[in-house]
Amino acid sequence: MQPRRHQGTKQALYFSDCVSSCFRGCISVLLAGALVAAQPLDRLAGKVMTDRGEPIKDADIRVEAIFGFAGSDFLGQRTFSAKSGGNGGWAVLGFKSGIWVFEAGIPDHVPDVVALPFNLVVPAGSGLNGMVAAWHPVLRPTPLPAGELGQRLADAIEAARADRPERVAPLLKPLADLSDPAVLDAAGRICLLMKDAPAARPFFRRALERDPTSFRAALGMGSSALMQRDVDSAARAFGQARDLTKDKDERGYLGNAITELNKAHNVMRGTY
């Protein structure tokens, strides 16, 4: 009878080991799943289009973080680049929480520059993938005007890309009194290209005064306010811009931006 008891004990130990291994395996799977869910955003996609809705191929896309969580200093890789494809689509990888500036440029055009908040008050590691799936930022460079005015803007763009603000300011200053809202908006976007939001806002404000239906000017007001961490003004301006466009992707990303800024209102109050 003794051998039978020994055999039963071995079987019980074997069964216990199997259960323990299975339990450890389940825990490992659950932990792996939680880790994947907590990773930073892998991919954000958008497109580059003309004002007529035509895709723009081979546009240079540059994305830069200017603030991190709740408007704090950004930590990690802060610049990304891409090219738009034949359908105008582009994608960048590796996003984290913060305020990001998107830029799209092609030759002989004024670059489009837009600032947007992504999970601005959600700590790093909280998982961004689900939230960002609905974001599809749209960038629309515009042709330079002909003649001396176009050359002045082109020179200002070149100086802005070379980080020479002392050269940009005198080139743009004479444009402030013009009545053309498109030119005023172009000047504002060049200022955003330099990350000079205080210089950009007067141009966008004047453009809106001359044309209250200007989507670009309202968007510029929102972007420049956000770059100064003024989340309340940014939310109001983005709301105005959303009301001025019928494009579903523009309405979508602006709606998401407004939601993010409303969340950030209490957390970032007093930081600007």
Q: In this predicted structure, what is the pLDDT of residue 197?
A: 97
Is residue 134 located within the same domain as residue 150?
A: no
- pLDDT of 95 > 80? The answer is no
159 has a pLDDT exceeding 60: yes
In this structure, the answer to whether residues 97 and 119 fall within a common structural domain is yes
What is the structure's pLDDT at 133? 55
- The predicted pLDDT at position 212 comes to 97
The mean pLDDT of 107-127, rounded to a whole number, is: 81
Task: Identify whether residues 120 and 228 lie together within a single domain.
Answer: no
pLDDT band with cut points at 50, 70 and 90 for residue 94: confident
pLDDT at 15 over 70: no
CATH of the domain at 199: 1.25.40.10
Domain shared by 31 and 55, yes or no: no
166 shares a domain with 85: no
Number of folded domains that form the chain = 3
pLDDT confidence of residue 204: 98
Same-domain pairing of 115 and 194: no
Shared domain check, 208 and 117: no
Q: Please report the DSSP string for 184-216 in residue order.
A: HHHHHHHHHHTT-HHHHHHHHHHHHHH-TT-HH
Q: State how beta strands 98-105 and 44-48 pair.
A: unpaired
Share of the chain above pLDDT 70, in %: 78
For range 188-198, the mean pLDDT:
97
**Segment holding 175, helix H or strand E:** none
CATH number, domain containing residue 90: 2.60.40.10
Q: Say yes or no: 126 and 163 in one domain.
A: no
pLDDT, residue 258, reads 95
Domain that holds residue 205: 144-268
The residue among 120, 139, 158 that closes a domain is 139
Shared domain check, 53 and 33 = no
CA 261 remoteness from chain centre: 13
Which of 106, 139, 172 corresponds to the end of one domain?
139
Residues 150 and 242 in one domain: yes
Tokens representing 235?
Answer: 């939310």
Burial class (CB in 10 A: 0-12, 13-18, 19+), 15: exposed
My answer on whether 148 and 264 are in the same domain is yes
**What is the chain's mean pLDDT, rounded?**
83
Average pLDDT over residues 53-65: 95
> 33 and 55, same structural domain?
no
Distance, in Å, from the CA atom of 234 to the CA atom of 229, rounded to the nearest integer, reads 8
Taking residues 2-15, what's their average pLDDT?
A: 47
